[in-house]
Chains A and B, each alone.
Chain A
Amino acid sequence: AQTVTQSQPEMSVQEAETVTLSCTYDTSESDYYLFWYKQPPSRQMILVIRQEAYKQQNATENRFSVNFQKAAKSFSLKISDSQLGDAAMYFCAYNNAGNMLTFGGGTRLMVKP
């Protein structure tokens, strides 16, 4: 079974600074998808960014980018120019193109003004 590990229960960043959230996963598959979801206090799960394993280029969405290291099974999220609205729980998730999305335990991000 696939597992997803987020080793940082909490992270803190100063407004306008950059922060990196870590995620590692375990799989024997070669074709899969990786995601970062944001969950603010409203509970809504919001897709931040998506990466297809067969693509070597790291995905980027505005201030959000990933560092995808397939051999190391690592998928970190970098948030640049952090804003107060970025404060939330962030979940890394894995899908093997099948029917299950496997989540990590989450990282709580705090943004200091």
Chain B
Amino acid sequence: NAGVTQTPKFQVLKTGQSMTLQCAQDMNHEYMSWYRQDPGMGLRLIHYSVGAGITDQGEVPNGYNVSRSTTEDFPLRLLSAAPSQTSVYFCASREGPKNIQYFGAGTRLSVL
């Protein structure tokens, strides 16, 4: 009963480094998304996907890339990390009929 799995749980990067945050779900949901949560704030949508091969931008997409080659996986790439990207990142998948989003445990990212 894994649900949505995110790796890693913690990551420290230096400015300019690149990395990929991994997200996988085993519920066969078509819709997946990435959010960031900054201190004292709610979550904001970065990118989302409505199915394999289809992605689109959310509210705060700059500095991030995504792709969706399979239903299960939806990685988030930071091409050149900046201190402003220090945040907690959540991946989610959505159950269509009930419109409920299920979240992963989050990745805490620090960019120095």
Contacts and interface: CB of A to CB of B under 8 A. Distances in A.
A103 B48 CA distance: 16
B58 A105 contact: no
Interface residues of B, number: 26
Contacts of A45: 43, 90, 92, 103, 106
Nearest to A33: B99
Contacts of B44: 103
B100 interface: yes
Contacts of A43: 88, 105-106, 108
B41 interface: yes
A106 B59 contact: no
What is the interface of chain B mostly: helix, strand, loop, or mixed?
strand
A104 B42 contact: yes
Contact of B105 (A4, A44, A95, A103): A44
Given A42-B105, A45-B103, A99 B40 contact: no
Contacts of B13: none
A37 B64 CA distance: 26
A106 B40 contact: yes
Among A4, A44, A95, A101, which residue has the most Cβ atoms of chain B within 10 A? A101
B76 to A, nearest CB: 16
25 contacts: A4-B42, A35-B100, A43-B88, A44-B103, A44-B105, A44-B106, A45-B43, A45-B92, A45-B103, A47-B102, A50-B98, A50-B99, A93-B42, A95-B99, A97-B99, A99-B31, A99-B33, A99-B58, A100-B45, A100-B59, A101-B33, A101-B43, A103-B43, A103-B44, A106-B42
Interface of A: 4, 33, 35, 42-45, 47, 50, 91, 93, 95, 97, 99-101, 103-106
* Smallest CB-CB A-B distances: 5 pairs: A103-B42, A45-B103, A43-B106, A103-B43, A33-B99
